[in-house]
Every structure is written in C-alpha cells, then in structure tokens.
C-alpha cells in the first residue's frame, strides 16, 4: 500500500478548506449548514490519522494546519448552532442585517467615488426606501430581540440613510450645474443609462422572472428626464439634439409601459411553481455568465460594469424570491433564495477584489 506524501495531504487539506472559504467565509452564520462543517471535521480527522505515516520532519507544519482548521470548524459549527437556536425573531433580525449589507454593496458599486451628475436618482431613491423599511422593522423588533445585531444594524442603517439622503440632494444639484447645453448632454447620457438598464434586465428575458417595480423605476426616471429636457427648451435652449432626445425618451416610455403591462399580465396568470421555476432558471443563467466571464480569470482584465450588472440581476431575483416567500412558503423557492444570496455575496466580494487589484496595479 502506498503511503501518502506530504504534498498529497497538503492538497487535501487545502481542498477541504476551499469548501470553508466557499460556504462559510464572509457568509451570515444564520443561514449556514453546520452539518457540512461536521462532514469536513470527519475528513480532517481521517487525514490527521494519515499524518502518522509521514516522516517526522514533515509532520509539524501540516499537523499545525490541521489542528488550526479543526479548531476553526468546530468553533464555527458551535456558533452557527447557537445562533440558529435563537428563534424566528432573531432570524428576522439577521435577515434585516443581510439586506442592509447588500444595499450598502449596491451603493458602493453605483455611487461611491462616482461623478454625482451621472448617477441614477431613482435607484438611490429605491435604496433609501429599502433602508427606511429595514429601519422600521428593526425598531419594531428591538423591544423583543435582545441581541446586538439589532442595535448595530439599526445604527448602521441610520448612518447610511443620512448619507444617502444627503447624496440624493447633492446629485439633484449637480444635474443642474453647467450651461443649458451641458445639462442637456448630461440628461442624454442619463437617458442612455436607463436604456441600457432595460437591455440588461428586460430585453430577451422571460417576463415571469422580471421585477415590475424595476421597470416602473426606469419609466419614472425617463419621464423625469424627458420633462427636464423640455424644461431646458423653455429656459431658452435651442438644440435639435435635445428635441430629438426628448422624442426618443417619450417613445421609449410608451414602449416600456406596454412591456410593463405584459410583464404584469404574465405574472398574474402564472402559477406559484411557474414563478419559482422562472426565478431559478434566470438565476442559473446569471451563474453561467459569471463562470464564462469571471471564474478563474485574471482580475486585472475583468470588466467591473459587467460584474455590477450580474450583481444587480441577482439582487433583483433575490428580492423577488424573498417577496414570494413572504406571501407563500415554498421549499424550492427558499432553497433557491439561499443559493442566490450566497452567489450574490461572492460576486460582491469579487467586485471588491477586482477594485483592489486595479488600485494596487
């Protein structure tokens, strides 16, 4: 019987720990499966027994790694089980914290360090509404949940709400800076961003998996941009390009309203299982695009805007899955939601790592 080599055992230790990095590192404990850590501990115990066959001078480093990982996995399993035994309201508090963190990631991708005049006010407004809803939920549960997750999340949410509301005012002011022609150019660019948003999230997609509120947001933003374009004319701007842009915006609003009606009708006629399947299929398509463009690739060469669009797609799907779960529990949908949130957190982490790789180059 062949004895294992130090390299072979080291590779097995790394393989086991890769599962930890994938399923536990940076993920909320409330949603983790402690049984997977138990399985990893069994694998480590079996591997530790094989260490005795190595020459004495090759054991210490590997033994130290195995012991450290074993201690980590045990602590994590105990912490997960203790947290999950806390009851449904503690689970709800951690869910609120999770959505608050995901909203903060959205802000980082779309607003932090960006030129204010180019930012999407409707998106920021949606994020403010989301955080305000989370704030109300945390305030309501605070008397009944004696855990720091409520107080710390509430403090962070309030801090971010103050930041986002101030930023909303600053963005609105920035849009009105410059000459009338410069303002018209800004409005045209903002309209193009909304057109791209439609292409990313609606063109060629199953209507069942699309979020109506997102299309409503796009339409509302375009209507505001169109109104502002026409207001520039009233202020004295005589530019054929601005007039054409206003016409294009009005045409798109009409088309998008038709699509919104079709999306709503398709969803109203769909069964619960059809919606669950549509959300799951859409998520799998996003996973496939991520594997194609990011998995195993050099971070320095990756397109952040492409990854941001994938993150936004998963956020939209997770939101719809969560909304559906609040109306009617479905095991498949709950499982899919957990998987989508895991992937979304990984993609957000990758977004940050790509940013770091570029800033360090």
State pLDDT tens for residues 128-163.
999 999 999 999 998 888 788 999 999 999 999 999
Percent of the chain with pLDDT over 70: 99
Other beta carbons within 10 Å of 91: 15
At residue 2, the pLDDT reads 64
Q: What is the pLDDT of residue 259?
A: 97
Which string of b and e fits 297-331 if b means at least 16 CB within 10 Å? eeeeebeeeebbbbbbbbbbbbbbbbebeeeeebe
Q: Are 293 and 305 in contact (CB under 8 A)?
A: no
Q: What is the pLDDT of residue 135?
A: 97
Residue 351 pLDDT > 80? yes
Cα angle for residues 219, 225, 229 (degrees, 5° grid): 140
pLDDT per position as a tens digit, 228-264: 999 999 999 888 999 999 999 999 999 999 999 999 9
Query: What's the pLDDT tens digit per position in 31-81?
Result: 788 898 999 999 998 888 888 888 887 788 888 898 999 999 999 998 888
* pLDDT tens-digit map of 217-228: 999 999 999 999
CA dihedral 63, 67, 68, 72 (to 10 degrees): 150
pLDDT top residue among 118 and 360: 118
- The larger pLDDT score, comparing residue 312 to residue 88, is at 312
CA angle 331, 337, 340 (to 5 degrees): 140
Please give the pLDDT value at position 360. 62
Higher-confidence position of 335 and 26: 335
Residues listed for the chain: 361
Beta carbons of 203 and 218 less than 8 angstroms apart: no
Q: What mean pLDDT do residues 97-122 have? A: 94
Taking only the tens place, the pLDDT of each residue in 177-195 is 899 999 999 999 999 999 9
More confident residue, 113 or 332: 332
In whole angstroms, how far apart are CA 262 and each of 215, 220, 221, 324, 347? Answer: 11, 17, 20, 20, 31
Output the CA torsion sign for 27, 28, 34, 35. negative
Minimal CA–CA distance to 282: which of 319, 326, 328? 319
Rounded to the nearest integer, the mean pLDDT of the chain is 91
Helix pair 304-327, 180-201: axis angle to 10 deg: 60
Residues 6 or more apart in contact with residue 36 via CB below 8 angstroms: 19, 23
Residue with structure tokens 């005589």? 238
Predicted confidence at residue 322, as pLDDT, reads: 94
Question: For residue 270, what is the DSSP state?
Answer: -
Domains of the chain, by residue range, sit at 6-83, 88-177, 179-270, 271-361
């Amino acid at each position: 019987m062949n004895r294992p080599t130090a390299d072979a055992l080291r590779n097995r230790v790394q393989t086991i720990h890769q599962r930890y990095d994938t399923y536990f590192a940076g993920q909320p404990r409330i949603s983790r499966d402690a049984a997977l850590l138990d399985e990893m501990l069994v694998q480590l115990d079996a591997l530790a027994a094989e260490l005795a066959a190595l020459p004495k001078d090759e054991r210490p480093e590997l033994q130290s790694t195995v012991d450290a990982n074993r201690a980590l996995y045990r602590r994590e399993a105990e912490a997960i089980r203790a947290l999950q035994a806390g009851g449904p309201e503690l689970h709800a508090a951690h869910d609120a914290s999770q959505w608050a963190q995901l909203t903060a990631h959205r802000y980082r991708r779309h607003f932090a360090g960006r030129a204010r005049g180019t930012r999407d006010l409707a998106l920021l407004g949606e994020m403010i509404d989301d955080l305000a809803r989370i704030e109300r939920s945390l305030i309501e549960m605070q008397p009944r949940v004696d855990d720091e997750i409520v107080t710390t999340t509430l403090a962070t949410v309030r801090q971010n709400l103050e930041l986002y509301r101030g930023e909303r005012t600053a963005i609105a002011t920035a849009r009105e800076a410059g000459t009338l022609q410069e303002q018209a150019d800004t409005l045209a660019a903002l309209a193009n961003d909304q057109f791209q948003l439609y292409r990313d999230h609606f063109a060629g997609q199953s209507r069942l998996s699309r979020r109506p509120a997102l299309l409503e947001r796009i339409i509302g933003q375009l209507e505001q941009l169109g109104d502002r374009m026409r207001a520039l004319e009233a202020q004295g701007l005589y530019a054929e390009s601005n007039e054409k842009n206003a016409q294009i915006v009005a045409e798109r609003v009409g088309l998008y309203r038709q699509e919104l009606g079709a999306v709503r009708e398709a969803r109203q006629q769909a069964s619960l299982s059809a919606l669950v399947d549509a959300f799951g299929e859409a998520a799998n398509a996003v996973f496939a695009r991520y594997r194609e463009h990011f998995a195993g690739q050099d971070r320095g060469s990756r397109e952040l805007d492409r990854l941001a669009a994938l993150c936004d797609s998963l956020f939209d799907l997770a939101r719809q899955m969560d909304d559906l779960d609040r109306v009617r529990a479905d095991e498949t949908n709950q499982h899919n939601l957990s998987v989508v949130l895991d992937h979304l957190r990984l993609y957000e982490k990758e977004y940050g790592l790509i940013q770091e790789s570029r800033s360090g180059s």
